[in-house]
Amino acid sequence: MRAIETDLWQRLDSYEIGPAHCAFTFAQRLARENRWDPAYADRVLTEYKRFCWLACEAGHEVTPSDAVDQAWHLHLTYSRDYWDRFCADILRQALHHGPTAGGTTERTRYYDQYAQTLASYEAHFGEAAPDDIWPGAHRRFVVDPRAVRVNPADVFILPRRQAYGLAGAIAVAFAALLLMAAM
């Protein structure tokens, strides 16, 4: 039986996080707090639910992608909803979020666990996890941990390609000025 045919998935799929009377839905808050497009936040929310299904049914420990982890962290701030509704009524079991103890052994453990999570995802959902939400294990545990969260009110953020293009244009303009000054 595929994951989407299970009672657990039906409960997860119909579940709305948080109280209905909030000014922002959970997905809207997730988008705002992570500076994501609303459509991307909706997709991450679906992937979070798929992760929770795997956490209950995969038969092994699972590790989320960073985007899915952001959804999980935010959900945990809705503590009554998370523990009293989500775990009790939807998952019908506790789903704890524990931090890593750090170090090489832990990184290797989570790297391997994440790779196994991706394999289980494909086996149970019948398709590969979307790369833009679930990057490969190398990206997740080697490249992405170097990232830092910044406040865009304090800095300019340019994609690498644009920064190189701007630096190249400045270099060409400077070289042209030097040539003109030499004449």
Token couple for 60 = 């092994």
> What pLDDT, in 10s, does the model give residues 86-122?
999 999 999 999 888 888 888 899 999 999 999 999 9
Does 169 map to a domain? no
Residues near 34 by beta carbon (within 8 Å), at least 6 away in sequence: 41, 67, 70
% residues pLDDT > 90 (the chain): 67
Structural tokens at position 128: 């590969």
168 in any annotated domain: no
Question: Domain tally for the chain?
Answer: 1
In a domain, 158, yes or no: no
Residue 176 in any domain: the answer is no
Provide the residue range defining the domain that includes 19. Answer: 3-149
The answer to whether position 59 is within a domain reads yes
Written as one letter, the residue type at 97 is H
pLDDT tens digits, 132-183 = 999 999 999 888 877 777 777 888 888 889 989 988 989 899 888 888 888 8
Tell which wins on pLDDT, 44 or 144.
44
Is 97 inside any structural domain?
yes
71: Cβ–Cβ under 8 A, 6 or more apart, which residues?
30, 44, 45, 47, 48
82, part of any domain: yes
Phi then psi for 7, rounded to 5 degrees?
A: -60, -40
For residue 118, being part of any structural domain is answered with yes
pTM: predicted TM-score of the whole model, two decimal places:
0.84
